Amino acid sequence: MCLAIPGKIVELLDDDYQYAMIDVSGVKRKVNVSLLKNEGLKENDWVLIHVGFAMNKISEKEATEQLELLKAIGEQEEAMEEVKGYQFE
Amino acid sequence: MKFIDEFRNPELIRKTLEELEKIVEPDDHFRIMEVCGGHTYAIFHFGLHELVPKNIEFIHGPGCPVCVLPPGRVDEALSLAEKHEDVIFTAFGDVMRVPGKNGSPLTYKAMGVDVRMIYSPLDALDIAIKNPDKKVLLFAIGFETTAPSTALTVLRAKELDVDNFFVYSNHVKIIPVLESILAQPGMKVDGFIGPGHASVVIGAEPYNIVAEKYKKPVVISGFEPLDLLQSILMLIKQLKNGETKVENQYKRAVADEGNVRALQVMDQVFEDRTIFEWRGLGGIHNSALKLRPEFAKWDAEVHFNIEKINIEENKEARCGDVLKGIIKPNQCKLFGKVCTPENPVGALMVSSEGACATYYNHMFSTMSQ
Ligand code: SF4
């Protein structure tokens, strides 16, 4: 639950910045991005995801580092499981 | 300094360590509390506690939300699901193994109670929408990191007019618990490594109270080994200079003012509880969040008659003393014998981020090498 998972915006799904399709290490999942409404999100932006919500925008460099960190501490699988687990439509 | 080459930026790591060695003098003794469970985990995983000068001591803080949950909270929600056949209990994976009076959520599940693991609060809402004849209870948990997500889920339930979705809020706040630790007699912490993710939401400003009122430095830190070492260096420099400031090492993710929108939705949906019981720390004023009366329709505590369950803690369990930094996990008599990650007695052994579980796993993996 405390994992921060980096993902890349593939598609913004509504005009209201509620949901986006996000690619996390090759897995595509719908994520709520409404907390970043005022950040001018666009495709290819990287975000950090907690429990199905994007919490902040990050740089590509930071995203890559974060992914490496997850791998290094052996939490990568858990993170992927979490992302795959999102059931909401 | 043997393992340094395995890190990314070994050169920078080496430099930071050298600088630390230079400014820490033999007579110094610094006790640094890493507030966040994720930091505890990273410190052990990368062996940072062995890399820094011996006279820097880490005290593991209260930053694992599962660990600070008073025993009884999970039981209260589970007994609801047990008593009412139409109630579905939902919670994050970390909660599933929390030992209660009659077992963990997983035990209840095995007994036939409808217990479901979720990854997002939105999953719980989704289950409610798909099961209109059931009542879905979300066992909501976490610091400011996850509270905005629960708040948004409640707003979504309102928007979609879902009336079989109920939140049992166990959300807690980081600043009040720090204040409570700072006010403890015999408090030995010299400075704080501020949590990275909760700070993404609350920002750096709220920590000013720690620096100004309690005269302790705070450095908000990222999770990379280099982040943590830099933060430690920043803290030690402040301590050496007699300064007490809030500094933000994790600027790339944490804005001074936090995530303003997240703070807004949190404030829209939640208000402070007058007092909330923390495991091992006792009652702390204004340290937890409950739903505002406008959202009573989705508040499990309003909708259900939740019976308070107080569980006697094992008298030998010293979770509270570990949380306060008074002892190390292995100084608890139950550690590794009675209390293990397979059979956790105290909550600090439950989540992999808990101080005792981190200690245990680390000792175990070093022994088996
Ligand atoms: S070893 Fe178990 S009982 Fe002892 S402090 Fe840790 S979690 Fe609590």
* Calpha distance B257→A88 (Å, rounded): 31
Phi and psi for A61 in degrees, rounded to 5? -60, -45
The one-digit pLDDT tens for each residue of chain B (369 residues) are: 446 777 778 899 999 999 999 999 999 999 999 998 889 888 988 889 999 999 999 988 888 888 888 878 999 999 999 999 999 999 998 899 887 788 899 999 999 999 999 999 999 999 999 999 999 999 999 999 999 999 999 999 999 999 999 999 999 999 999 999 898 877 789 999 999 989 999 999 999 999 999 999 999 999 889 999 999 999 999 999 999 999 999 998 899 999 999 999 999 999 999 999 988 788 999 999 999 999 999 999 999 988 888 877 788 988 878 877 788 899 999 999 999 988 888 878 887 778 899 899 888 776 654
Calculate how far, in angstroms, residue B354's C-alpha sits from the geometric centre of ligand 1.
Answer: 10
- Across the interface, of B36, B118, B252, the residue whose CB is closest to A59 is B252
Rounded Cα gap, residues B124 and B168, in angstroms:
12
Task: Write out the two tokens for B84.
Answer: 């009412």
CA atoms within 13 A on the CB side of B41: 24
Angstrom distance (rounded) from CA A5 to CA B27: 42
Give me the pLDDT at residue B178, please.
93
* Domain B73-173+258-303 fold: Rossmann fold (3.40.50)
Per the CB < 8 A criterion, the answer to whether A2 and A74 are in contact is no
Judge residue B163's burial from the number of C-beta atoms within 10 Å of its C-beta, 0-12 exposed, 13-18 middle, 19 or more buried.
middle
Collect all residues of chain B within an 8 Å Cβ-Cβ radius of residue A53.
120, 148-149, 152
Are B165 and B299 spatial neighbours (Cβ–Cβ below 8 Å)?
A: no
Is B92 close to A51, i.e. CB distance below 8 A?
yes
* Cβ neighbours of A52 in B, within 8 Å: 119-123, 149
Q: Which residues of A touch B47 (CB under 8 A)?
A: none
What number does the ligand 1 atom closest to the CA of B360 have?
A: 1
* Per-residue tokens: B40: 């505890």
How far apart are alpha carbons B267 and B177 in whole angstroms? 19
DSSP B111-163: TT--EEEESSHHHHHHHHHH-TTSEEEEEEEESTTTHHHHHHHHHHHHHTT--
Q: How many angstroms separate the most distant Cα atoms in chain B?
A: 68
Domains of chain A and CATH, by start: 5-84 (2.30.30.140)
* Rg over CA atoms, chain A: 12
C-alpha closest to that of B72 among B310, B280, B251, B237: B310
Structure tokens at A8: 């890349």
Q: What is the average pLDDT score of chain B?
A: 91
Q: How many CB pairs under 8 A join A and B?
A: 105
Q: Predicted ipTM?
A: 0.89
3-state secondary structure of B115: strand
pLDDT of residue B3: 67
- DSSP category for residue B308: P
Contacts of A29 in chain B (CB under 8 A): none
Q: Which residues, including other chains, have CB under 8 Å from residue A69's CB and lie 6 or more apart?
A: B223, B224
Q: Measured between CB atoms, does A35 come within 8 Å of chain B?
A: yes
- C-alpha–C-alpha distance, residues B287 and B188, integer Å: 22
Q: How far apart are CA A49 and CA B95, in angstroms?
A: 20
Q: Does A23 lie at the interface with B, CB-CB under 8 angstroms? A: no
Q: Are B93 and B116 contacting, i.e. CB atoms less than 8 angstroms apart?
A: no
The residue extents of the domains of chain B are 73-173+258-303
Exposed (0-12), middle (13-18) or buried (19+): which is A72, by Cβ within 10 Å?
Answer: middle
- How far apart are the C-alpha atoms of B50 and A19, rounded to whole Å? 44
Mutate to test the pocket of ligand 1, among B67, B69, B345 (most ligand atoms within 8 A of CB): B345
Residues flanking ligand 1, CB < 6 Å:
B 317-319, 322, 329, 332, 334-335, 339, 345-346, 348-349, 356
Closest ligand 1 atom to Cα of B314: 3
Whole-number Å distance between alpha carbons of B112 and B116: 11
Q: How far is the CA of B352 from the centre of ligand 1 (A)?
A: 13
